Structure 1
Amino acid sequence: MKLMIVEDEVTIRNLLGETIEKWGHTIVKVETFDNILQLFISESPHLVLLDINLPTFDGYFWCNKIREISKVPIIFISSRTSPMDMIMAMNMGGDDFIQKPFDTDVLSAKINALLRRTYSYLDSQQSVLEHRGVVLNLDDWDVSYDTAKTSLTKTEFTILKMLIQHKGAIVSRHKLMRSLWKDENFVDDNTLTVNINRLRKKLMELGKDDFITTKKGEGYIIQ
């Protein structure tokens, strides 16, 4: 799993990074705080550790921005200890609140429990898939980016769903065609190409260029 650390105190940021890497997770450290949302979109972490006291805008602001596009788990870590701070954190969309100084074993237990709850039954529970700001609604086959939205055909929906579910990995044309055949759509090689092109055009109209990358002779990938 990839965890994003948004912490202004360098010592604590490094401690969190070293500790989390020992647990086998990948980390993304935020070291400049002007556009945390853009880094979140590009890295697509599975969980965010977020301090309240940050330069420019505080953690509440960034939590709200993330919640506009994603349901990713967010744990606030802060030296603030008042009940109002904890209430604010939860009301802004936080999933948990840990006070500084913290015990690394307690932090580990909370992170792993939240990851299990969020991702262990992901396929059966979630109603949307989200990656880099693109949100695919699994109930009505709509895809949206920022404030724009469009509808997909069943074939386009199946292709985009499969690519997002395998983000970071190349999905072969053969695997895509097998998935579409399973869904009772007859798709040959030319039909797949046509649908990929239509899907790309719809994503471009939403303002998301180059979301799907062709790997010549291999297939397609969303990174």
Structure 2
Amino acid sequence: MYRVFIIEDDGKIAAILKNKMEQYGYVAEAASDFRDLLPELESFDPQLVLLDINLPYFDGYYWCRQIRSRSNIPIIFISARAGEMDQVMAIENGGDDYITKPIQLELLMAKVRGVLRRSYGEYAIREGKEGGESTTDGPSMELQVSGLRLLMSRNELDWNGKRVELTKNEGLLAECLMRRPGHIVARETLLEALWDDVQFVDDNTLTVNVTRLRKKLEELGLQKAIETIRGQGYKLSLDEELSGGER
């Protein structure tokens, strides 16, 4: 039974969200101490966070960063801010999805179910396909391409003795690209892998997520591992990166 932590300072909205989660069989709890949300969150130990942006004391971007410094738990932003840059900032600060107010509850539930499936359900660990080599190590699965390892159950990348943690979306992006190393993966394919309701996703959110994955690869020492193919998609080019090939 999944636990959902609701960070929303409007009591009526928080109650509606809590009731809706419980109707679908989830255990839900609404935050009460907006000065310091982390003790409540850690005590409740949720599998998903619904996070408003306009909050007292500190905004949702701040709390998203604080949560991300401790956990890769999925975070869906819920906000009255409908601007493109607000959605981009939500993704850049570690959010996995975004929905605007007034909330369409059935759309929200579709997003919640989709995020939970990708994070913990039938899509969380997938069997190997063509491309990167899949291996098993106990309960975890790995993809390996030219020495780069994706630890799928942990959402971690490992290369040359270094390791970085990924968000769920970064992990899914890495998996898609590592399944087809050296081949172009279409933007549409990546969008569909990350979000169930592609029609509600701004294309810029994919760009932001790719940028975040690039930064994680750079932390490992891989500076130009993801190549942008204008008008088509992206390509993982580790062989060129390791040999110092030009773009």
2:78 matched residue in structure 1: 77
Work out whether 1:2 is the aligned partner of 2:29.
Answer: no
Deviations 1:120-174 (A, max 9, x none): 2365422279xxxxxxxxxx9xxxxxxxxxxxxxxxxxxxxxxxxxxxxxxxxxx
Work out whether 1:16 is the aligned partner of 2:17.
Answer: yes
1:105 matched residue in structure 2: 106
Distance 1:128 1:105, change over 3 A: closer
Unaligned 5+ segments in structure 1 are: 130-139, 141-223
State how far apart, in whole Å, the 1-side matches of 2:15 and 2:41 are: 19
Cα offset for 1:44? Answer: 1.2
Deviations 1:27-84 (A, max 9, x none): 1110221111121122110000000000100000000000001000000000011111
Cα offset for 1:24? Answer: 0.0
What TM-score, normalized to structure 2? 0.51
State how far apart, in whole Å, the 2-side matches of 1:43 and 1:66 are: 13
State the AA in 2 paired with 1:50. L
State how far apart, in whole Å, the 2-side matches of 1:78 and 1:127 are: 29
State how far apart, in whole Å, the 1-side matches of 2:111 and 2:4 are: 13
Aligned Cα RMSD in Å? Answer: 2.0
1:187 matched residue in structure 2: none
1:189 matched residue in structure 2: none
Work out whether 1:126 is the aligned partner of 2:153.
Answer: yes
State how far apart, in whole Å, the 2-side matches of 1:77 and 1:99 are: 6
1:66 matched residue in structure 2: 67
State how far apart, in whole Å, the 2-side matches of 1:113 and 1:43 are: 22
State how far apart, in whole Å, the 2-side matches of 1:50 and 1:127 are: 23
State the AA in 2 paired with 1:109. A
For 1:34-45, list aligned pairs within 5 A. 34-45=35-46
1:50 matched residue in structure 2: 51
Cα offset for 1:7? Answer: 0.2
For 1:1-223, list aligned pairs within 5 A. 1-120=2-121, 121=124, 123-124=140-141, 125-127=152-154
In terms of mean alpha carbon deviation, does 39-48 or 117-126 score higher? 117-126
* SS in structure 2 of the partner of residue 35 of structure 1: coil
* SS in structure 1 of the partner of residue 72 of structure 2: coil
Distance 1:103 1:35, change over 3 A: same
* SS in structure 2 of the partner of residue 5 of structure 1: strand
Unaligned 5+ segments in structure 2 are: 126-139, 142-151, 162-247
State the AA in 2 paired with 1:65. Q
Larger Rg computed on CA atoms? 1
State how far apart, in whole Å, the 2-side matches of 1:95 and 1:64 are: 12
Moved over 6 A (4+): none
What TM-score, normalized to structure 1? 0.56
State the AA in 2 paired with 1:51. D
State the AA in 1 paired with 2:154. S
State how far apart, in whole Å, the 1-side matches of 2:67 and 2:55 are: 15
